[in-house]
């Protein structure tokens, strides 16, 4: 990682344009592009490469420096309103992100590029603000105008729609508040940050669900059909652009780069019998988390916004359970390690990142 490169990338013209034109961030493809640029900011050849090992199948990233789940609110309401093709990015989050939390790809130098420069309090948080989430009605609010235009609401429905708009902004505020204000340099710290972010999203769902259910319940069959027709049109547009459906997002095969690094851990840590027992428990917890998340991603596709938001809430509940489970096993294992072993464990992810970067550089420039 390179501190100067990270700072430059986070302030690049491309990202700056995205920050100014926030309407473009309603496009999942644009969000994935912005996320990728920020996630690879510290890599010398990051801009032209295929991407880091912790990249999602849609080209986005679950981790950008110290932040887990950039644009979380957008992903949540895209799936809720428009269905699985538009909202597929929501379903890419899962076990791979827990793995990236365990074996973080960033070293200290790379992470510091996401923090405020010395003497400039708040600048770093401004860089991450858009990725963390926005809480203004113009940016974070659901597309209320489009909904109103589609259904031509009665007075009672308009009031319920206003309540839904207010609930959506409150939910966005909860999610934004879970943005990290410091960097976590240990796996336990990263999983704690991940847990906090998921808990905020669950709180956001709990805030929006009653207002959405009330509003949707007030619609007559004709209005529901109109709203669902808009979602279906968004689905068709997404499919024409080649976006993955919910099922395809759930069926992404785990890559070889995410296999448990057993041999490397053995070589680096040289664990005692007691430590090896803890390591086995951590591996088992990780495997169980992967199985839980895989199973929870195979539900039938919901047909209404209320049902989709409820499905998203259930998915987040399983994610939270999985993170807690792995974090508990990790903490039990970590306390048995000495300082040297801890340092060796934390070096696995950045070392893998460095090796991947060098291998890519060799392929691109070393063989002429």
**CA distance to 26, 55, 323, per residue, from 336 (Å):** 46, 31, 20
**Predicted local distance difference test score (pLDDT) of residue 365:** 35
Tell me if 256 is assigned to some domain: yes
- 120: in domain: no
Sort 23 into a burial class: Cβ within 10 Å, 0-12 / 13-18 / 19+. exposed
Is residue 188 included in any domain, yes or no?
yes
* pTM given for the model: 0.87
- DSSP letters spanning 69-121: STTHHHHHHHHHHH-TTTTHHHHT-SHHHHHHHHT-S--HHHHHTTSPPTT-T
- Residue-number span of the structural domain to which 96 is assigned: 72-103+133-366
pLDDT at 241 over 80: no
Whether 238 shows a pLDDT value over 70: the answer reads no
Number of domains in the chain: 1
The pLDDT tens digits for 245-265 are 555 566 554 555 678 899 999
Average pLDDT over residues 155-170: 94
DSSP H or E stretch at residue 63:
strand 63-64
Residue 2 lies in a domain: no
**158 or 50, which is more confident:** 158
Select from 89, 85, 62 the least CA-distant residue to 75: 89
The predicted-structure confidence for 203-215, as pLDDT tens digits, reads as follows: 999 999 999 999 9
pLDDT, tens only, 63-79: 999 999 999 999 998 89
30 within some domain: no
Residue 209: inside a domain:
yes
For the chain, the residue count is 368
- Which DSSP symbol is given to 64? E
**Mean pLDDT, all residues of the chain:** 81
């Amino acid at each position: 990682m390179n501190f100067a490169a990270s700072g430059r990338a986070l302030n690049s013209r491309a990202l700056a344009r995205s920050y100014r034109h926030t309407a473009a961030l309603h496009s999942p493809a644009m969000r994935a592009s912005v996320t990728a640029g920020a996630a690879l900011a510290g890599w010398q050849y990051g801009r032209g490469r295929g991407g880091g090992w912790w990249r999602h199948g849609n080209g986005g990233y679950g981790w950008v420096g110290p932040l887990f789940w950039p644009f979380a609110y957008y992903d949540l309401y895209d799936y809720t309103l428009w269905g699985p093709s538009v909202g597929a990015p929501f379903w890419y989050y899962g076990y791979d992100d827990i793995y990236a939390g365990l074996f973080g790809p960033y070293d200290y130098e790379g992470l510091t590029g996401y923090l405020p420069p010395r003497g400039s309090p708040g600048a770093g948080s401004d860089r991450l603000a858009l990725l963390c989430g926005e809480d203004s009605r113009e940016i974070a609010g659901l597309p209320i105008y489009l909904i109103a235009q589609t259904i031509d609401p009665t007075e009672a429905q308009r009031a319920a729609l206003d309540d839904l708009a207010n609930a959506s902004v409150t939910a966005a505020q909860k999610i934004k508040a879970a943005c990290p204000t410091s960097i976590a340099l240990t796996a336990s710290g990263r999983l704690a940050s991940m847990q906090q972010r998921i808990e905020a999203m669950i709180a956001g769902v709990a805030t929006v669900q009653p207002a959405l259910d009330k509003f949707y319940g007030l619609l007559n069959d004709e209005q529901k059909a109109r709203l669902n027709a808009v979602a279906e049109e968004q689905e068709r547009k997404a499919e024409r652009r080649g976006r993955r459906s919910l099922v395809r997002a759930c069926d992404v095969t785990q890559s070889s780069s995410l296999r448990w690094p057993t041999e490397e851990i053995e070589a680096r840590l040289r664990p005692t019998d007691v430590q090896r027992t803890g390591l086995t428990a951590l591996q088992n917890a990780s495997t169980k988390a992967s199985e839980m998340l895989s199973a929870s991603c195979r539900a039938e596709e919901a047909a209404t916004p209320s049902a989709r938001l409820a499905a998203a809430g259930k998915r987040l509940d399983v994610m939270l359970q999985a993170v807690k489970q792995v974090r508990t096993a990790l903490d039990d294992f970590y306390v048995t390690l000495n300082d040297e072993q801890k340092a060796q464990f934390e070096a696995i992810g950045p070392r893998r990142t460095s090796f991947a970067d060098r291998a890519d550089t060799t392929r691109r420039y070393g063989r002429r």
